[in-house]
Amino acid sequence: VLVSLVGGASVTFNKAFSSFGLADKALRLGTLIEENTLAGIGFANARNLYSSSGYFASVDTPAAKAFAADYAKRYGANAPALNGLAESTYEGFLMLEAIARRAGSLDTVKMDAASEGTSYSGPRGTATIKARHVEQDIYVADVTDKGFRVVKTFPKVGSGQTCKV
């Protein structure tokens, strides 16, 4: 089952799906399910639930670990869970900085002209802008009793490219 619902709608759907016993009978893939949505769904309702994203808090790379350590140091143990939404916001600023530096300006026309081929390094690793999209790793994760566990990485997926198993 492809779940394309967001936030509370995804939580309600996945809880109901599980309550009908369907979680044991069918796999689900949610392309918009991140750590906070998973917390709402609950681990008990997440059997056979997968998600795909450019970032999960459980990504096990040096860059992702450093990002998580910096986040924990700055905001403490009671901070909201790291997730793809927050990480994407952070990377948006990294992208802006990289393009502006390359353009030597914050002028949008100059930045547009300079964007092609611009790269930056963030928690997801190195991302490169090609044809106005970011070429980046995409992860597929399942759910354990501790949260998301990355089970497959599709490296450097670009716009228009599909992930091959």
Q: How far is Cα 32 from Cα 84, in angstroms, rounded to an integer?
A: 9
Residue that the structure tokens 């070429």 belong to: 135
Check residue 161 and give its pLDDT. Answer: 59
Check residue 74 and give its pLDDT. Answer: 93
Q: How far is Cα 135 from Cα 130, in angstroms, rounded to an integer?
A: 7
Q: Is 75 helix (H, G, I), strand (E, B) or coil?
A: helix
Residues of the chain with pLDDT under 50: none
User: Taking the model in full, what pTM does it have?
Assistant: 0.86
Check residue 162 and give its pLDDT. Answer: 62
Check residue 157 and give its pLDDT. Answer: 85
Check residue 80 and give its pLDDT. Answer: 86
Check residue 70 and give its pLDDT. Answer: 93
